Amino acid sequence: MNRRRFLVISASAVASALLAACGSGGATPTPVAAPTPTTAAASPTSAPAVTPTPQASASPTVAGSATPFKIGVVVAQTGNLASSGRRHIEGMQLALDELNNTAAGRQLELIPADSAGNPEQSLTHVRRLVESEKVDVITGFTMTPELTAVRDYLHEQKQVTIVSIAGWPPLTRDPNVPSPYIFRSSFC
């Protein structure tokens, strides 16, 4: 499988899973009671038996949402690691373009933020993305120090986060560090 196809499949799987988990308040099926058949009385003057009419089928529908699904990307776009961060954003945008920037009826919006490889700058951008931009998911983090600087804030805010570059093995191996809101797809 080539790299481009892998990126497209991965991005669409993540976006679909997140959209399904978040739900958009679409219609839920309502139970419909089965019609009860009526029987004709034994007298010759009674009306003929009524044939039950089919009820409307209750099937779930996916309602498109007017609000876009916002993906915050915190990576170094300047400094020594800029090429890595820019490639990361370009790869994600390529995957979104392959999906026509939509998934499950919602527009997908990429919101990049330049951490410059600086932990304090990462925290500033993460706060902005969560509090002002109201992103649905955050991804990226070029270096482990960026991730360690934002981990507690992301956990407190219950912000779904996918760490796609930084390693930091304790994030998934140390029983005192993991968060149910932070996932790591990077190499460690």
**Domain-embedded: residue 25:** no
Give the pLDDT score at 176. Answer: 79
In a domain, 87, yes or no: yes
Tell the burial category of 137 from Cβ atoms under 10 Å away from its Cβ (0-12, 13-18, 19+): buried
So what's the pLDDT on residue 49?
54
Determine, yes or no, domain membership for 39: no
Condensed to tens digits (0 to 9), the pLDDT of residues 50-74 reads 555 544 444 334 555 689 999 999 9
CATH number of the domain residue 100 falls in: 3.40.50.2300
Domain span at 139: 63-184
Kind of pairing, strands 102-103 and 69-75? Answer: unpaired
Q: Quote the pLDDT of residue 48.
A: 52
Whether 151 maps to a domain, the answer reads: yes
pLDDT for position 134: 96
Q: Is residue 53 part of a domain?
A: no
Is residue 35 assigned to a domain? no
Amino acid at 27: A
**Number of domains the chain contains:** 1
pLDDT mean for each 10 residues of the chain (188 residues): 53 49 45 49 50 46 73 94 93 95 94 95 97 96 90 94 82 76 76
- Answer whether residue 96 is part of any domain: yes
Residue 114's pLDDT is 95
C-beta of residue 95 within 8 angstroms of C-beta of residue 102:
no
